Structure 1
Amino acid sequence: MSNLIAQPPTAARRVRLWPRSPAFWFLAPAVFVLAAIGIYPTLLALYNSFHHYNLTDLASGTPFVGIDNYVATLTDPSFWGALGRTLLFLCLTLPIELALGLFAALLLHRQALPWMRAIARVSLVIPMATTYAVVGLIGRLIFNRQFGIVNWLLGLIGIAPLDWLGDPTLAFVSVMIMDIWQWTPFCTLILLAGLAMVPREVEEAARLDTSRWTMILWHQQRPFLLPGLTAILILRSADMLKMFDAVFTMTRGGPGTATEFISVYIQRIGFRLFDQGMASAQAVLLLILTIVLSRLYIRFIYREAA
């Protein structure tokens, strides 16, 4: 009789350790894979950042050097130059994408011509579905000095061909144009989803009260756009800070260092100079910067939405 009484607690403990819910077993493999490809590389980079780990000097091992890699990174002018170019790219490109995305979202939010809205929404997915490397190759062809379509169009109006990928300023602008082409549709879809949450009765009443679309946008639609705007800022800022594929395939970071963004610079340190310890320290600092920006967006923008 005592054995029968002792069994339920043991069974309860087994249930807590190994849940029988199908949802647990369906999600467990995905959680394990995400942890393997997300947490492990981060911990490995953090470990390497405190060690002297150069692939050309493995005979001396990987001794612990403390924060020497971080000090060397923070006193490296090239690192600050690459970070400055990245932040400049973010500050110039992201507002343009947001402005164009909001303009397109407001147009698609109108009730007229529903079949055109459906076609436009499907078309917006195409740039986002294009991989970064392909976007870089497309940009390399479009801005080619000899047979690029941009110089061909400029020639139609009497402008001489420009060396888009050979001039530092034009190369930077070329990368901006390709990023705007690829990710403005993402901003449009997110903001369009926010506009769809606005009650139709509220919008109709606001339009009866005023004909100024700016007043309607600021007072009626803005609260519903702020959560999506926060998501866009977080995702796009993180994406721009680690932007590599499109830039590398399009300009290789050149000419000179004109488009050598921080991820391209880290790649050069880690896989051209083979200093894995220094590259890991730079990657950790980039991760910290991304987290700080995300927290600022949530604190000052998402809090206003709440």
Structure 2
Amino acid sequence: MKTGVMPVGDLSASQMRSVLLAATAPPPLRTARPWRFQCTPDSIELYADPLTTGTDSEQRERLLDCGAALLNLRLAIKAQGSHADVRLLPSAGRPDLLAVVRPNGYETITPHDGELVAAIADRQSNRRPFTSADVPAAVQRQLRRAAEVERAWLATITDEQVPQLREIMRHAEVPQATPGPGGGDDLDVEPDRLVVVIGSLHDTALARLQAGQAMQRVLLTAAAAGLSASLSSQAMAAPATRRELRQLVGGGLWPQIMLRLGHGTAVLSPTRARLEDVVISDEHPFAR
């Protein structure tokens, strides 16, 4: 079956296959992978899997997942020596079209971004208990900067805020998340552990798409530094709980995702998606 992988801009078909494999690598917040890519002669289009129903939380998670895939796509294009020209939400009449990316011209990838590309293949959520080893302050600054590069912000939960965070999560009337690799609770909050919230100044589709890119850049930065990560969107599932979490981190940011970061034991690498399932072509249109 044809997958619709073709030369795009300055990239050959084989380069595009490598780029799309990287773009579709991040494990989604939910089981289904909501992103779809379509190649044209000069661009790669990112679409969100149509979601005609669903809660606001499900809509938010879908955009976060697509943002993560978009960040991987941008990095993979740079790894091929090409510049990724990105337009977000380019058509008001096509809300499912999230981005158009044109690989044009030449761009040298920085050593740091090269480390992030190398971390793409093994990045995954780890729900096993973390050790008590501290995350160095220098690494925490790198994580904060990673979020800011993508026009989002990273707020750290202090030890003094841990009891209140536990109370917020205890009162969250949401179903338990499907356990990730290693089992464990949705978020194991302990003092002296690094728990962060990635947020945005607005709560629009654009802000959530940017937050998804920030989330992935933070996760890849953590992986490159040898850290494990456990993701939690449970505290954001209920509107009232999300408002409480917003107040906890200062009231100025809309929380989009919460992460627990630290040193953990290894888990199995995630299963990769087949390109046939996530790349749109005339022979393989959107499954509805």
TM-score normalised per structure 2: 0.25
TM-score, normalised relative to structure 1 = 0.24
More strand as a share of residues? 2
Larger radius of gyration: 1
Structure (1 or 2) with the greater helix fraction? 1
